[in-house]
Amino acid sequence: MLTERAAALDAADPLAHIRDRFLLPDGVVYLDGNSLGALPAAVPAVVEDAVHRQWGTDLIRSWNGNGWWEAPLRTGDTLGRLIGAAPGQTVVGDSTSVQLFNTLLAAARMRPGARLLLTDPDHFPTDQYIADSVGRLLGLDVRRVPAREAAAVLAAEAGNVAVAAYAPVDYRTGELYDMAALTAAAHAAGALMHWDLCHAAGSLPVELDAIEADFAVGCGYKYLSGGPGAPAFAYVARRHQAGFDHPLTGWHGHTEPFAMSGTYAPGDGISRARISTPPLLSMLALEAALTAFDGVEMTAVRAKNLSLTGFFQDCADTLLDGLGFTMATPRDPERRGSQVALRHAEAYPLVAALTARGVIGDMRAPDLLRFGFNALYVTHADVLHAVQELHAVVTGGAHLAPAFQQRPTVT
Ligand SMILES: Cc1ncc(COP(=O)(O)O)c(C=O)c1O
Ligand SMILES: Nc1c(O)cccc1C(=O)C[C@H](N)C(=O)O
């Protein structure tokens, strides 16, 4: 029954052919693309060319001749299509944490009278640490308010909040929040809205311009599949660019970098959000990775992700019932991102045993098994196989083996 359903869903999948744009290892079901995306087939040749021809042969001439100088803004514009950003508002480079620090600090400085910075107690740790650091630097109180309560607190504190810094998708449970509603609530309270799109970019039709978001950041290595350590991105809405006072005034953001002036003068538009020499090999790998989205509409990605996550939940209901699991991810499609998390007391050994059987997910302490679904390369057959394997592990006790009991550094 589930087998037939998986086959029918895969047969009707309009994105099925996109899987060929990825190089996936045989015998592996990869459900951790919400942490490190799979390798797009276009990447190796581009990296090879970047190393041997552009670096090895063309050397310094590549800055002009191979478009290295423009890469952060060129790739930013390509990526912008996936997050609803018109060209000229997205820059690629550095890490998410660096981009977060810059944009959050710059945003907070745009509301000098306000005393509060709101963020989520369930936000990814780096976001909370950086919010605290920005709070210390600017003398703001950082208040942790869950996403679902943020609109009410914004209304109560109208005029007092500088920035609300949230993520549309909870990285642990995959719960999805209403970006448009929270952005509107922030604006109604006179605050700026800052989004971390790490778990949304490439998995959801984010509409930054349409919802009038102010600032956003996100990483290049999850659903965008830019590779380990891929550069991150920052979005600065056009209306804020002239007032964007970049805290990291690196020379690439200067209006005339090669004038070699001793005084900083910010460039025009999004170019002032550049920092300094980008990691070109990773940047070009990300640019190549984004070609996997060519001709793909984010609405189709969303529809397939909902189908995959919904099917996973159905499979779990049928095959894992009574085996100690509870569903941590909302069943309402409107409240679900592109991952499903299950709670189980033995989350780590279960994930380790599953990985040993070729089904790769991850866990988040203390008790969450996390499975991420990238519509570009995951099938419904993969989903069913993963849940069947989990059933086999938990009923057969494979996870009780000593090898699966000790957590490694990275889980
Ligand atoms: C929401 C969120 N923000 C930030 C990060 C990571 O930031 P960085 O790429 O700087 O390590 C992650 C994942 O690692 C994340 O899930
Ligand atoms: N960024 C990561 C890293 O440097 C090491 C290991 C995992 C990651 C991740 O991306 C984790 C991921 N952001 C999460 O949602 O937990």
98, 193: one domain: yes
211, 115: one domain: yes
Domain that includes residue 349, residue range = 2-30+298-404
Of 276, 293, 310, the one marking the end of a domain is: 293
pLDDT at 378: 98
pLDDT at 3: 98
pLDDT at 307: 98
Say what the ipTM of the complex is: 0.98
75 is a domain residue: yes
What is the per-residue DSSP string for 297-350?
Answer: -HHHHHHHHHHHHHHHHHHHHHHSTTTT-EE-S-SSGGGB-SEEEEE-TTHHHH
312 is a domain residue: yes
C-beta 410 within 6 A of ligand 2: yes
303, 254: one domain: no
pLDDT at 408 over 90: no
Please tell me the distance between residue 5's alpha carbon and the centre of ligand 1 in angstroms.
35
pLDDT at 25: 97
∠ CA(209), CA(210), CA(212), 5° rounding? 60
120 is a domain residue: yes
Q: CB of 188 within 8 A of CB of 154?
A: yes
38 is a domain residue: no
Of 293, 325, 358, the one marking the end of a domain is: 293
Q: Which residues contact 130 (CB under 8 A, 6 or more apart)?
A: 97, 100, 101, 104
Please tell me the distance between residue 82's alpha carbon and the centre of ligand 2 in angstroms.
21
| Structure-token pair, residue 112 | 């000098």
Q: CB of 390 within 8 A of CB of 317?
A: no
283, 182: one domain: yes
Mean pLDDT of 184-190: 98
13, 139: one domain: no
Q: CB of 385 within 8 A of CB of 358?
A: no
Q: Looking at ligand 2, which residue's alpha carbon is closest to its atom 10?
A: 35
pLDDT at 407 over 90: no
Its pTM stands at: 0.98
315, 267: one domain: no
In the DSSP assignment, the letter for residue 50 is: I
- Is the torsion defined by CA of 37, 40, 45, 49 positive or negative? negative
36 is a domain residue: no
Candidates 78, 46, 33, 45; CA nearest to 377 is: 33
241, 314: one domain: no
pLDDT at 296 over 90: yes
Mean pLDDT of 162-189: 98
pLDDT at 313: 98
374 is a domain residue: yes
pLDDT at 166: 98
152, 138: one domain: yes
What is the number of the ligand 2 atom nearest to the C-alpha of 410? 6
Q: For the chain, give the mean pLDDT.
A: 97
Other Cβ atoms closer than 10 A to 215: 27
Candidates 15, 24, 31; CA nearest to 315 is: 31
72 is a domain residue: yes
221 flagged as catalytic: yes
pLDDT at 332: 98
Please tell me the distance between residue 28's alpha carbon and the centre of ligand 2 in angstroms.
20
Q: Strand, helix or coil at 142?
A: strand
Residue 379: which CATH number? 3.90.1150.10
Q: Which residues contact 173 (CB under 8 A, 6 or more apart)?
A: 328, 329, 330, 341, 368
| Structure-token pair, residue 332 | 């309402």
| Structure-token pair, residue 81 | 């299509």
Count how many domains the chain has.
2
Mean pLDDT of 125-141: 98
186, 239: one domain: yes
C-beta 408 within 6 A of ligand 2: no
| Structure-token pair, residue 35 | 């942490």
- Predicted confidence (pLDDT) per residue in 224-256, tens digit: 999 999 999 999 999 999 999 999 999 999 999
Of 259, 274, 293, the one marking the end of a domain is: 293
What is the number of the ligand 2 atom nearest to the C-alpha of 172? 15
- Predicted confidence (pLDDT) per residue in 346-405, tens digit: 999 999 999 999 999 999 999 999 999 999 999 999 999 999 999 999 999 999 999 998
pLDDT at 411 over 90: no
d(CA 131, CA 137): 10
Q: Looking at ligand 2, which residue's alpha carbon is closest to its atom 5?
A: 410
81 flagged as catalytic: no
β-sheet bridge partners, residue 369: 342, 363
307, 322: one domain: yes
- State residue 303 phi and psi, 5-degree precision: -60, -45
pLDDT at 406 over 90: no
- Predicted confidence (pLDDT) per residue in 340-361, tens digit: 999 999 999 999 999 999 999 9
148 is a domain residue: yes
162, 195: one domain: yes
Ligand at shortest distance from the CA of 232: 1
372, 250: one domain: no
Q: CB of 130 within 8 A of CB of 160?
A: no
